[in-house]
Amino acid sequence: MSFIFGLLGGLIGIILAVVIIILIIYISVRRYVGGVELKQLFRAAKNVKDIKRQEYSREKQVNGMTRVYEPQIIEDFSDFNKSLLYNVVEKGLTSIFNAIENKSMKYVKENKDLKLLEPELEEYINDIKNREMDISYDGIKFHNHAIKKYEKIDGMATITISSTVEYYYKNSENKNNYSDIKKQTRYTTKFVYIYDDQKLDPSKISFAINCPNCGAPLKSVGAGECSYCGTYVEPVNLKSWKMLSYKEDYD
């Protein structure tokens, strides 16, 4: 019994010591900067927090030059429809969010427009599984899209799209997020179209298609058989826009 009283006495002593130290620091700071100034500092700190919260929930602006690039794309691809591509962006990002939230590649494999992203996403999903991390995207809503960049060279065309989106975001590794309000953010997605594989410069290709059996990269984008294990690989139709990359570009 005496041991318990001694332990409680020790804990109370530690708590009192901490309280005294905090009071001494507070009185010293107040004496140095003054009572009014100290209140202003506390108010400024609160304002900074409020500003961050407001910025987190403020609808963002797209970053692009659609009027400049759209005529160039239509000149090269007469059947190009930006609205259809924007729809592909929304479906693609939604599939990615669902795959990450459910830690399942099923949502990615069901979307053929994400074929080139499968290796990257599978690696990321395995990583969050190993870390036992939980991430969720609820109430997803897209706002605006714009064409940010367009290039056509060496048999390959690429379009970069800027998109604004909102959702309730939760991350089990981030305890200080604003999970009670919707996050307003922006994503950049890049799409590729191989219009002439004979002109392709292998040194400029930033992606690889892997064998589903052994995982080895195929030597040609049009290869129908893996040169390492001999497995038949269904050709990827790259004469249509495929998502090459995605990135959240607003912190």
Tens digits of residue pLDDT in 88-138: 999 999 999 999 999 999 999 999 899 889 889 999 999 999 999 999 999
Q: Which amino acid is at 219?
A: K
Q: For residue range 211-249, list pLDDT tens digits in order.
A: 555 665 655 555 566 666 666 555 555 678 999 999 998
Which tokens in the block code for residue 59?
Answer: 């609808």
Residue range 62-197+239-248 forms a domain whose CATH class is alpha beta
Residue boundaries of the structural domains of the chain: 2-55, 62-197+239-248
Residue 51: the pLDDT is 74
Q: Which amino acid is at 90?
A: E
Reported pTM: 0.73
Query: Quick check: 22 pLDDT over 70?
Result: no
> In which band, very low, low, confident or very high, does the pLDDT at 68 lie, cut at 50, 70 and 90?
very high
Element (H, E) at 142: strand 135-153
The pLDDT mean for the chain works out to 80
Q: Which residues of 21-57 are buried (b: 16+ CB within 10 A; e: fewer)?
A: eeeeeeeeeeeeeeeeeeeeeeeeeeeeeeeeeeebe
The most confident of 16-25, 55-64, 158-167, 227-236, by mean pLDDT: 158-167
Tell me the C-alpha distance between 158 and 85, whole Å.
12
Tell me the C-alpha distance between 148 and 68, whole Å.
9
